[in-house]
């Protein structure tokens, strides 16, 4: 039962353009959503998060949008840079589960110069 799903295993964009990574979830008890970034041979690092009471959170080039009715969130990166090339994981948390996160499968983003 995959409660958090990233349907695109990979995404390729040109430098300077927008990258849009998508994530869908099924459990309406999730109250917080996070994006992590992972480079090869490194652990995931936290990128940005959003509470379920908001529909948008922005941090520099990164913006996360949440559509609760569709149980869908997306991460926008503008402008994309080659250093953004990494695997991006969507994760979700239920308040009753403390900090235990449920992760999606990940999307490999490649930004071409």
Partner 1 sequence: NAGVTQTPKFRILKIGQSMTLQCAQDMNHNYMYWYRQDPGMGLKLIYYSVGAGITDKGEVPNGYNVSRSTTEDFPLRLELAAPSQTSVYFCASSYDSNWNTGELFFGEGSRLTVL
Any bridge partners for residue 4, and if so which? Answer: 25
Residue 20 or 48 having the CB closest to partner 1:
48
Q: How far apart are CA 112 and CA 58, in angstroms?
A: 24
Site membership for partner 1, residue 88 (CB under 8 A): no
Pairing of strands 10-14, 62-67: unpaired
CA 102 to chain centre: 12
Site membership for partner 1, residue 91 (CB under 8 A): yes
Residue 113 Cβ vs partner 1, minimum distance, rounded to whole Å: 27
Binding site for partner 1 (CB under 8 A): 4, 6, 9, 32, 34, 41-46, 49, 89, 91, 93, 98-106
């Amino acid at each position: 039962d995959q409660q958090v799903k990233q349907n695109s295993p990979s995404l390729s964009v040109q430098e300077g353009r927008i990258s849009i990574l998508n994530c869908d979830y099924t459990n309406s008890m999730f109250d917080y959503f996070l994006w992590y970034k992972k480079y090869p041979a490194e652990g995931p690092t936290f990128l940005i998060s959003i509470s379920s009471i908001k529909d948008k959170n922005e941090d520099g080039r990164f913006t996360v949008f949440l559509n609760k009715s569709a149980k869908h969130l997306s991460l926008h990166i503008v402008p994309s840079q080659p250093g953004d090339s990494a695997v991006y994981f969507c994760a979700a948390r239920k308040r009753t589960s403390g900090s235990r996160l449920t992760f999606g499968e990940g999307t490999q983003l490649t930004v071409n110069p």
